[in-house]
Amino acid sequence: MNSIKNICVFASSSNFLKEEFYEDARELGNLIGKNGYNIVYGGSTLGLMWTCASQVKTNGGKIYGVMPQKLVDMGCRTDNCDEFHLAIGMRDRKGKMDEISDAVIALAGGFGTLEELAEMIVQKQLGYNRKPIVILNTKGFYDNLLKFFDEIIEEKFANKIAKSLYFIANNPQEAIDYINNYIEPEYTISKLEIYNR
């Protein structure tokens, strides 16, 4: 049994997506709660973020929200968090979410989600964390990005071991199964592992 308790979920804040994206967010939230995990997320009432978080709460998990003051002032904050952390800005927000989470799942999202996911992959690549990182590829949403990741590796902009830094799940159950069975890697990060191609 691993020691994972809090799963950080990065996801879209859009309320204008196709229903399939909300279905996966809803199911992931159900599974997070039913498997005894809590959610760390952006703290809003919007989009896939809230669709997932609300289902975690419904199924017995806790909600930890992290939001910068600017978004609070816009009225994006939910009052349903078990813990709410006010951040100075987006960089501070990402740092707090990283600090209080034990795993990461990226749902479909926009530029913010992409930035958050990329930072977590780099953090793991450099050995700042050994958390499971899952990309939930609803409807093949991330297919083109994953091809680009492969190109980065093939063209030697990253070491081939980079592919082991993240897991691609085709549905919410695969994402939770991966986290349930995750064994923290024992590798030691070295200059050769990062820079050799």
Task: Parse the chain into domains and list their residue ranges.
Answer: 6-140+168-188
pLDDT digits (tens, 9 = 90+) for 116-146: 999 999 999 999 999 999 999 999 999 999 9
Domain 6-140+168-188 classified CATH 1.10.3720.10?
no
Locate all alpha helices (DSSP H) within the chain, ordered by sequence: 19-34, 47-58, 69-73, 90-100, 111-125, 143-154, 172-180, 191-195
CB–CB of 170/139 below 8 Å? no
3-state DSSP percent of the chain in helix, strand and coil, to 5 = 50, 15, 35
Give the pLDDT confidence of 29-82 residue by residue, as tens digits: 999 999 999 999 999 999 999 999 999 999 999 999 999 999 999 999 999 999
Exposure string for 119-146, b = 16+ CB within 10 A, e = fewer: bbbebbbeeebbbbbbbbbbeebbeeeb
| Model pTM above 0.85 | yes
Question: Tokens 């998990």 belong to which residue?
Answer: 61
Q: How far apart, in whole angstroms, are the C-alpha atoms of residue 153 and residue 166? A: 14
Look at residue 7 in the predicted model and tell me its pLDDT: 98
Residue 191: Cβ within 10 Å count:
7
At residue 20, does pLDDT exceed 70? yes
Whole-angstrom distance, CA of residue 173 vs CA of residue 166: 16
**Cβ atoms 186, 38 nearer than 8 A:** no
Which phi and psi (to 5°) does residue 124 adopt?
-70, -40
Q: How many Å separate Cα 84 from the centre of its chain?
A: 18
Strands 103-106 and 63-68: unpaired
